[in-house]
């Protein structure tokens, strides 16, 4: 009996996802329906059971090539049992690694690989199972053959060799099923480097190939086998090669030339480069003068995004992103990093601080990265480090996708409550415990590790830290795919930098448009005769006003309250929003001047605008305007009108002449920026500078006369 493995194929259906489109491995697949995904789960379970039976001899499967339908065929080649064991239950971390694993196996055995069917978890875009086939899988459709195709009619032989990966709750891709027999001759060792999948590489992998075929690595003896190719180095050898990846000198110099040119054009342009142990450039950071001015006004909260990879070096493109007074994205600078080591991040944060006069943000939001956390703790010890909830959502379903959550809406509701719906640590603990118990997730490693870091992501545990509303749903929408505007993601380094700068300019153009909108279109209040709303419309930008207006209407029109006088002009209010359960918030209000108000929901402390509960209490006690102390300048129309008084220096910038020079330069630079493109404004700037120069000269003359007079006496 021929030793083959039976594979139970999923029922043929147009809902099955098949990535093969005329031989193109990179065509996107559609999303499977719920029934298809469930069918894949059943097939997968059957396949895994088959693989785990061990010593049982599976039945024979006769494989008939299309050109030999009249006579039975037997497999021409079946790998040894050790070859199969090499893959069965093998686990990798990503789809790319899964594809590479089977390609490397195929290269070793002598066949090429094509991508096959894949299934998604119900209601998601997360892959449940994925198949890879021998490239000779399937048959040609005779009606679609072209004249060129007839010259090579036997490309497909209906070969059944394949492998199936399953994605588990930890995000690992594990081999659960394999058909190892081929019905065609396999390629000879000396010809295997010509296989299609041996020639298909990502940009990062191609860089490896370039290194391994360089004179340096050709001198390394991998063995005298005539079948040597780039697929053969061991994992350990590949790791050593990866460590030695460096950026070509000519490309590094081209990027430095771009920075030098920008520095000549922009007197406040800042750039920095880190060298590796061999003296080669490896990491880059840059920001322009406008970013420095922006940071003065809006640098209290920073989102550090490391999700994008660029160019053939697969470098991390890491922008520092903030929020302006229109609640729009702005960029404070950007980095290109060759790796994500602690040392690289620490160097970057030091460079960023240096470029910003040593002024650290109040809060920084990042991905779930241990090396990032260590670098922030080392370089930014006084900055509140938060894990951006958007990144947690992004990682959630791949980690939980293989679990059969019967009511996913219920799970997501509880999970989201843990993220931002709890008001205390006790409520978080209770909600988290209930969620784990209800969905039987007590032993889930990823969730347990996530809970250990709860102080970095749970809003209930960060009510004492300002975050600028970064985690609000409306802001999350604007942060999604924030770097999609970078168009040249595969080009040389200098083009990547120019593409990032183009995105930054696009954002600035949107801010100019919003400034114009605010200047030319007065805000129409929902209650036109409300003193409070009219005051808010006068102070806030349109976007922030709308947020304030929602709080005001919610507080005055949909909030129950109980007032308790505490003596004199001090009052306590218990406020409950209608339609949101029985949760009550305590407001303390002092009505004598200066008016003071506080609420234990902490919206003002975290977001910088008053909450509905505080506004309700103020309305009841006839407070007609927003107390000035509760109008955060960074949300106001005058947010960019900085006070450069000599008496107000940041401690981080020090005092004396250094701080004086730094602030005067930024003040002058800001004026120059505002005059760009307007001849009349440029005239005003020159007149102001000339007037200042004349005043200084006159002051000097007076001082000299006074000194001379004292000397005569």
DSSP string, 261-281: HHHHH-TT-EEEEEE-TTS-E
Is 126 in the same domain as 149? yes
570 and 668 both lie in a single domain: no
Total domains present in the chain: 4
Q: For residue 10, is it within any domain? A: no
Mean pLDDT of the chain: 77
703 and 655, same structural domain?
A: yes
Residue 354 has pLDDT above 70, yes or no: yes
Q: Say yes or no: 503 and 568 in one domain.
A: no
Going by C-beta distance under 8 Å and a sequence separation of 6 or more, which residues neighbour residue 502? Answer: 485, 487
Assign 66 a pLDDT band (cuts: 50, 70, 90).
Answer: very low
Closest to 562 in 3D by CA, of 584, 590, 591: 584
Are 559 and 490 within one domain?
no
CA separation (Å) from 296 to 355, 379, 501, 672?
A: 12, 20, 20, 16
State the pLDDT at residue 709. Answer: 60
222 or 553, higher pLDDT: 553
Residues 6+ apart with CB under 8 A from 389: 419, 420, 457, 471, 476
Domain match, 512 and 536 both: no
Collapsing DSSP to helix, strand or coil, 212 comes out as helix
Contact in structure between 87 and 175 (CB atoms under 8 Å): yes
Asked if residue 368 and residue 478 are part of one domain, the reply reads yes
Residues 536 and 495 in one domain: no
Please tell me the least confidently modeled range out of 194-198, 392-396, 687-691.
Answer: 194-198
Q: What is the mean pLDDT of residues 441-452?
A: 92
pTM: 0.65
Q: Are residues 486 and 339 in the same domain?
A: yes
The dihedral region occupied by 71, where left means phi > 0, alpha psi between -120 and 50, and beta the remainder, is beta
What is the mean predicted confidence (pLDDT) over 561-586? 90
Final residue before a domain boundary, out of 491, 516, 541: 516
How far is Cα 167 from Cα 145, in angstroms, rounded to an integer?
37
User: Would residue 81 count as lying in a domain?
Assistant: yes
What is the rounded average pLDDT of the residues 531-553?
96
Cβ neighbours of residue 457 closer than 8 Å, sequence gap 6 or more: 386, 387, 389, 392, 419, 450
Element housing 576 (H / E): strand 570-577
Judge if 342 and 479 occupy the same domain: yes
> Percent of the chain beyond pLDDT 70?
67
Nearest to 416 by CA among 455, 459, 453: 459
pLDDT for 547 beyond 90? yes
Residue closest to 402 by CA, chosen among 90, 664, 48: 48
pLDDT of residue 480: 55
Same domain, 103 and 65: yes
pLDDT average, residue stretch 509-517: 92
- Collapsing DSSP to helix, strand or coil, 113 comes out as strand
Q: Are 38 and 128 in contact (CB under 8 A)?
A: no
Q: Which residues pair with 273 in a beta bridge?
A: 284
| 704 in any annotated domain | yes
Record the tokens describing residue 289, joined without a space.
Answer: 């003068």
Structural domain that includes position 135: 17-200
Is residue 270 one of the residues assigned to a domain?
Answer: yes
Mean pLDDT: which of 106-120, 459-473, 531-545 is highest?
Answer: 531-545
User: Contact at 8 Å (CB) between 509 and 342?
Assistant: no
| 590 and 663 both lie in a single domain | no
Q: How confident is the model at residue 129 (pLDDT cuts 50, 70, 90)?
A: very high
What CATH number did the domain enclosing 499 receive? 3.30.420.10
């Amino acid at each position: 009996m021929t030793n083959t493995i039976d594979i139970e194929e999923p029922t043929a259906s147009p809902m099955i996802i098949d990535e093969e489109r005329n031989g193109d491995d990179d065509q996107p697949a559609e999303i499977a329906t719920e029934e298809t995904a469930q069918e894949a789960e059943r097939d997968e379970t059957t396949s895994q059971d088959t693989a785990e039976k061990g010593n049982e001899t599976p039945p024979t499967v006769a494989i008939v090539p299309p050109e030999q339908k009249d006579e039975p065929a037997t497999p021409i080649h079946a790998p040894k049992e050790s070859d199969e064991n090499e893959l069965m239950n093998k686990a990798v971390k990503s789809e790319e690694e899964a594809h590479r694993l089977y390609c490397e196996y195929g290269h070793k055995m002598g066949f090429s690989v094509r991508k096959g069917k894949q299934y998604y978890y119900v209601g998601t875009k997360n892959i449940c199972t994925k198949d890879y086939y021998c490239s000779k899988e399937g048959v040609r459709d005779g009606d679609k053959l072209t004249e060129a195709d007839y010259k090579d009619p036997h490309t497909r032989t209906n070969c059944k060799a394949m492998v199936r990966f399953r994605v588990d709750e930890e995000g690992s891709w594990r081999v659960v099923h394999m058909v190892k027999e081929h019905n065609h001759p396999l390629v000879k060792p000396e010809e295997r480097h010509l296989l299609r999948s041996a020639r298909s590489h990502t940009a990062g992998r191609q860089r490896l190939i370039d290194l391994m075929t360089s004179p340096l690595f050709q001198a390394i003896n991998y063995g005298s086998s005539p079948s040597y190719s780039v697929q053969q180095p061991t994992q350990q050898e590949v790791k050593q090669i990866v460590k030695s990846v460096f950026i070509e000198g000519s490309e590094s110099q081209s990027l430095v030339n771009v920075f030098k040119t920008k520095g000549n054009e922009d007197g406040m342009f800042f750039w920095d480069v880190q060298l590796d142990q061999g003296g080669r450039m490896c990491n880059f950071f840059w920001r322009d003068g406008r970013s420095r001015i922006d940071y003065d006004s809006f640098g209290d909260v920073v989102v550090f995004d490391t999700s994008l990879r660029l160019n053939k070096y697969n470098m991390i493109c890491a922008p520092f992103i903030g929020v302006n007074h229109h609640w729009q994205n702005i960029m404070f600078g950007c980095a290109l990093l060759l790796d994500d080591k602690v040392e690289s991040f620490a160097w970057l944060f030091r460079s960023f601080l240096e470029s910003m006069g040593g002024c650290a943000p109040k809060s920084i939001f990042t991905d779930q990265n241990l090396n990032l956390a260590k670098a922030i703790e080392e370089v930014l010890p006084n900055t509140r480090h938060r894990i951006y909830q958007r990144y947690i959502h992004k990682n959630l379903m791949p980690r939980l996708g293989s679990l059969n959550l019967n009511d996913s809406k219920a799970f997501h509701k509880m999970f989201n409550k843990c993220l931002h719906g709890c008001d205390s640590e006790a409520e978080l603990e209770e909600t988290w415990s209930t969620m784990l118990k209800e969905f039987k997730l007590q032993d889930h490693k990823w969730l347990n590790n996530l809970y250990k870091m709860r102080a970095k992501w749970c809003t209930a545990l960060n009510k004492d830290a300002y975050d600028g509303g970064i985690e609000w749903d409306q802001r999350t929408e604007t942060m999604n795919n924030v770097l999609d505007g970078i168009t040249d993601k595969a080009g040389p380094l200098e083009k990547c930098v120019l593409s990032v700068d183009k995105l930054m300019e696009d954002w600035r153009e949107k801010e100019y448009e919003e400034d114009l909108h605010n200047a030319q279109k007065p805000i129409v209040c929902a209650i036109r005769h409300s003193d409070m709303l009219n005051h808010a419309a006068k102070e806030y930008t349109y976007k922030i006003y709308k947020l304030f207006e929602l709080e005001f209407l919610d507080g005055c029109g949909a909030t129950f309250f109980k007032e308790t006088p505490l003596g004199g002009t001090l009052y306590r209010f218990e406020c409950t929003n209608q339609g949101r359960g029985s949760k009550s918030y305590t407001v303390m209000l002092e009505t004598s001047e200066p008016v003071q108000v506080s609420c234990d929901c902490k919206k003002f402390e975290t977001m910088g605008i008053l909450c509905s509960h505080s506004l309700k209490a103020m309305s009841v006690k006839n407070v007609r305007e927003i107390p000035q102390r509760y109008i955060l300048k960074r949300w106001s129309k005058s947010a960019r009108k900085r006070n450069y008084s000599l008496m107000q220096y940041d401690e981080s910038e020090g005092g004396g002449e250094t701080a004086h020079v730094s602030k005067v330069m930024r003040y002058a630079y800001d004026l120059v920026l505002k005059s760009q493109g307007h001849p009349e404004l440029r005239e005003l700037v020159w007149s102001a500078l000339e007037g200042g120069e004349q005043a200084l000269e006159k002051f000097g003359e007076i001082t000299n006369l006074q000194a001379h007079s004292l000397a005569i006496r």
